[in-house]
Amino acid sequence: MVIANLLKAYGFGRLQELVGLKREIEGAGFTLEDVDTYVEAKRKALAMRQKISGLRQRRCPECGKIMMLMPVNTGPGDQTGDESKSVWMCNGCLSAEYSDVPVKEILQDLAKKLLEKTRDEK
Ligand SMILES: [Zn+2]
């Protein structure tokens, strides 16, 4: 195969960028395989971050819409009149489940379960 056929789909600027990047990588003593490993690790970390931010949401048992986990009793605007520290609030039917466990602890617990589940799946 002629190299021109392989590269014809890529713009000249992009190819120049590739050559420059390859020079920079190899000049620093790394290989394209190192870049591949780095990108894969980054992709996994991003996927995990997305999963963890998804832990703040779940389906409402009443209406099936999204419930969000939010802190309460943190300031004048979110007083509940009790000792609650967090609430699962439905965006659809406004049903609410209050808890005296802070959001941070709930998320840490959910993240721990998620990590255990991910480990078991491997
Ligand atoms: Zn609902």
Model pLDDT for residues 49-69, shown as the tens digit of each residue: 888 888 999 999 999 999 999
Q: Is residue 81 part of a domain?
A: yes
Q: Is residue 96 part of a domain?
A: yes
Residues less than 5 Å from ion ligand 1, measured at CB: 60, 62-63, 65, 90, 92-93, 95
Residue position matching structure tokens 């990108």: 39
The 10s digit of each residue's pLDDT in 71-87 is 999 999 999 999 999 99
Q: Is residue 102 part of a domain?
A: yes
Q: What SS3 class is residue 1?
A: coil
The DSSP letter of residue 64 is S
Report the predicted TM-score, pTM, of the whole model to 2 decimal places: 0.62
Residue 19 above 90 pLDDT? yes
Domain tally, the chain: 1
Average pLDDT over residues 79-102: 96
Q: Are 120 and 90 in contact (CB under 8 A)?
A: no
User: Residue 52: what pLDDT?
Assistant: 81
Chain centre distance of CA 12: 34
Q: Is residue 92 part of a domain?
A: yes
Give the residue among 50, 49, 24 at the shortest CA–CA distance from 35: 24
Q: Is residue 19 part of a domain?
A: no
The 10s digit of each residue's pLDDT in 24-46 is 999 999 999 999 999 999 999 99
Q: Which two tokens stand for residue 41?
A: 């690790």
Q: Is residue 120 part of a domain?
A: yes
Q: Which two tokens stand for residue 109?
A: 């617990």
Q: Is residue 7 part of a domain?
A: no
Q: For residue 41, report the phi and psi dihedrals to the nearest 5 degrees.
A: -65, -40
Q: Is residue 43 part of a domain?
A: no
Give the mean pLDDT of the chain: 93
Ligand 1 centroid vs 79 CA: distance in angstroms?
21
Which residue range is the domain that position 73 belongs to? 56-122
Q: How confident is the model at residue 122 (pLDDT cuts 50, 70, 90)?
A: low
